[in-house]
């Protein structure tokens, strides 16, 4: 692919340009190590590193065009420099232009929220595949271009990678792309310059206060997604979430709500909720779902509402949503031969853990609920005691262990969680996650439910800066001889 300089900077507000303006470029990167001949190198100022320090490295690797917010002291011959105020914003425009503005050629739907993003995106993808559409998705678990799957590095990729994937989706004639929009991505302008068909809010609760200065800042960051929508777009929010309607303030898009408790544009009612599945009523139509829990009733209603706004026939929706199943590591149920049940879930926030445990409590009668969990290292520490308190409230036995300790001492993380556990019921501590899961099973009897929370789909553990192979489901399967 070759793109002329004039096409690349179309719509870009630049301060000045130095060098040849008649060049063509063949690639784009913000990593100097990935620069090649005739590439654009974008110097991003990050939290830890400043891309401007690697401009010479990028040029040495072949970059011919440098996008920067600080002009180097020495300008090199045969290199074009474009000075802008904010390279993150400029990157969104440049990368969209380089890939021929693919977001204008596909229906791009962004899902944001504290919990449920991956589940909702995956269920949207699976539903539209059932409906015989070519579709793409960008999630925490994986990225997909129709049937082709790619490993995911971030919840939301940067704007270069997003545009790359969207371009490939357009090439494969995908009509829709569903993607997660994390608060980090919104704050870092990774979605800037994209044409968004619709934005959806699942919920907002306590998370990422390690990154955001306050919970208020976290909420305001989520709101930016809705503030950037055009009048031709739609905004769909969970009205039962107390911050849902706030997202719609000053939003130019067509506004819609969904809910179970409050009067909404799209309404559902839970008829029954058991370990066998959910029976719900959506707009006077009764359907049975293979999914469990009130939170999944919200997820299905969200998908129904969003698909309806995209013009999908109501009857086709009702028939096909009943066949949807949970994505890997999202309330994934494993049954043993001796009657012990294990549920693997990604719940790693206080709200998510409480939702899952509340659901499990509804399924359990006089049997034990055993909760195995930890908390991520180098992340929001304020949520740790909150999660301890929630586990104590809804569990009979707590097994505290490691999640991804990263560079922190695993025992220190466990001690932080214990601060929220006031009445120590039955408590086991083991920083080895595998041994902790084994201990949980050793204490379980027929009918008991073991929740293994925090990692879900992840197939690694991050310890002291290194990723080690680890999969909760594989550990459980080994214990149960499945």
As to burial, measured by CB atoms within 10 angstroms (0-12 exposed, 13-18 middle, 19+ buried), residue 422 is: exposed
- Range 102-321 classified under CATH 3.40.1190.10: yes
Residue 326 has pLDDT above 90, yes or no: no
Q: How far is CA 466 from the centre of its chain?
A: 22
What kind of fold does domain 3-98 have according to CATH? 3.40.1390
List pLDDT tens digits, range 163-196.
999 999 999 999 999 999 998 899 999 999 999 9
pTM attached to this predicted model: 0.85
Residue 346: the pLDDT is 93
Whether 307 and 176 have beta carbons less than 8 Å apart is answered as: no
Residue 154 has pLDDT above 70, yes or no: no
Whether 1 and 26 have beta carbons less than 8 Å apart is answered as: yes
Within the chain, all domains assigned CATH 3.90.190.20 are found at 332-480
List pLDDT tens digits, range 334-392.
988 889 999 999 999 998 899 999 999 988 778 999 999 999 999 889 999 999 999 99
Residue 364: the pLDDT is 79
Residue 304: the pLDDT is 97
What whole-number distance in Å separates Cα of residue 281 and Cα of residue 213? 41
List pLDDT tens digits, range 51-105.
999 999 999 999 999 999 999 999 999 999 999 999 999 999 999 999 999 999 9
* Minimum mean pLDDT range among 219-223, 263-267, 305-309: 219-223
| β-bridge mates for residue 257, sequence order | 237
- 3-class secondary structure, 481: coil
Whether 177 and 169 have beta carbons less than 8 Å apart is answered as: yes
What whole-number distance in Å separates Cα of residue 263 and Cα of residue 258? 8
Q: Where does the pLDDT of residue 309 fall: very low under 50, low under 70, confident under 90, or very high at 90 and above?
A: very high
Residue 47: the pLDDT is 80
Q: Where does the pLDDT of residue 48 fall: very low under 50, low under 70, confident under 90, or very high at 90 and above?
A: confident
Residue 141: the pLDDT is 83
Q: What angle do CA 195, 109, 144 make, to 5 degrees?
A: 105
Q: Using DSSP, how many helices (H) and how many strands (E) does the chain show?
A: 15, 26
Superfamily covering domain 332-480: Mur ligase, C-terminal domain (3.90.190.20)
Within the chain, all domains assigned CATH 3.40.1390.10 are found at 3-98
Q: Where does the pLDDT of residue 206 fall: very low under 50, low under 70, confident under 90, or very high at 90 and above?
A: low
**Conformational region of residue 339, where left means phi above 0, alpha means psi within -120 to 50, and beta covers everything else:** left
Residue 328 has pLDDT above 90, yes or no: no
Q: Where does the pLDDT of residue 155 fall: very low under 50, low under 70, confident under 90, or very high at 90 and above?
A: low
Give the sheet arrangement for strand 27-29, strand by strand.
16-18, 80-83, 63-68, 39-42, 27-29
| Cα–Cα nearest to 105, from 56, 170, 34, 38 | 170
* Minimum mean pLDDT range among 74-78, 213-217, 228-232: 213-217
List pLDDT tens digits, range 416-458.
999 999 987 799 999 999 999 999 999 999 999 999 999 999 9
List pLDDT tens digits, range 403-424.
999 999 999 999 999 999 998 7
Residue 207 has pLDDT above 60, yes or no: no
Q: Where does the pLDDT of residue 466 fall: very low under 50, low under 70, confident under 90, or very high at 90 and above?
A: very high
* Strands 142-145, 285-289: pairing kind: unpaired
Q: What percent of the chain has pLDDT over 70?
A: 98
Residue 215: the pLDDT is 81
Whether 359 and 295 have beta carbons less than 8 Å apart is answered as: yes
Any idea of the CA torsion for 192, 198, 202, 205, to the nearest 10 degrees?
A: 30
pLDDT greater at residue 109 or residue 290:
109
Residue 210: the pLDDT is 55
| Mean pLDDT in residue range 14-22 | 96
């Amino acid at each position: 692919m070759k793109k002329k300089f004039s096409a690349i900077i179309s719509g870009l507000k630049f301060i000045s340009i130095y060098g040849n303006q008649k060049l063509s470029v063949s690639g784009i990167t913000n990593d100097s190590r990935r620069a090649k001949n005739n590439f654009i190198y974008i110097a991003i100022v990050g939290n830890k590193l400043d891309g401007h320090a690697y401009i010479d490295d990028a040029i040495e690797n072949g970059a011919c065009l440098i996008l920067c917010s600080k002009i180097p002291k020495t300008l090199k011959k045969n290199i074009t420099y474009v000075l802008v105020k904010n390279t993150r914003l400029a990157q969104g425009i440049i990368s969209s232009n380089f890939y021929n503005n693919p977001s204008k050629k596909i229906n791009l739907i962004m899902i944001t929220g504290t919990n449920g993003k991956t589940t909702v995106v995956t269920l949207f993808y699976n539903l539209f595949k059932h409906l015989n559409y070519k579709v793409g998705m960008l999630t925490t678990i994986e990225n997909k271009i129709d049937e082709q799957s790619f490993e995911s590095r971030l919840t939301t990729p940067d704007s270069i990678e997003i545009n790359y994937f969207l371009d490939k989706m357009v090439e494969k004639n995908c009509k829709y792309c569903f993607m997660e929009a994390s608060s980090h991505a919104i704050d870092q302008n990774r979605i800037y310059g994209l044409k968004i068909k619709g934005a959806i809010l699942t919920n907002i609760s306590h998370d990422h206060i390690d990154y955001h200065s306050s919970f208020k800042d976290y909420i305001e960051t989520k709101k930016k997604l809705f503030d950037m929508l055009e009048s031709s777009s739609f905004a769909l929010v969970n009205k039962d979430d107390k911050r849902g309607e706030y997202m719609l303030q000053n939003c130019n898009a067509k506004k819609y709500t969904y809910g179970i408790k409050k009067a909404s544009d799209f309404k559902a009612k839970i008829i029954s909720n058991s370990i066998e599945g959910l029976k719900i009523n959506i707009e006077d139509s009764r359907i049975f779902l293979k999914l469990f829990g009130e939170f999944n009733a919200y997820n299905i209603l969200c998908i129904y509402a969003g698909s309806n706004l995209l013009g999908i026939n109501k009857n086709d929706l009702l028939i096909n949503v009943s066949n949807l199943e949970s994505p890997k590591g999202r309330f994934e149920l494993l049954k043993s031969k001796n009657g012990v049940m294990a549920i693997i879930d990604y719940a790693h926030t206080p709200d998510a853990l409480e939702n899952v445990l509340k659901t499990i409590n509804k399924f359990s009668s006089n049997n034990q609920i055993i909760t195995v969990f930890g908390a991520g290292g180098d992340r929001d520490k304020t949520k740790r005691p909150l999660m301890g308190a929630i586990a104590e409230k809804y569990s009979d036995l707590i097994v505290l262990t490691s999640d991804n300790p990263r560079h922190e001492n695993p025992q220190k993380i466990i001690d932080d969680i214990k601060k929220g556990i006031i009445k120590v019921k039955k408590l086991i501590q083991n920083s080895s996650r595998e041994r902790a899961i084994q201990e949980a099973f050793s204490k379980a009897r027929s009918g008991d439910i073991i929740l293994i929370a925090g990692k879900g789909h992840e197939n690694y553990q991050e310890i002291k800066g290194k990723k080690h192979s680890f999969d909760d489901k594989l550990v459980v399967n080994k214990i149960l001889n499945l």
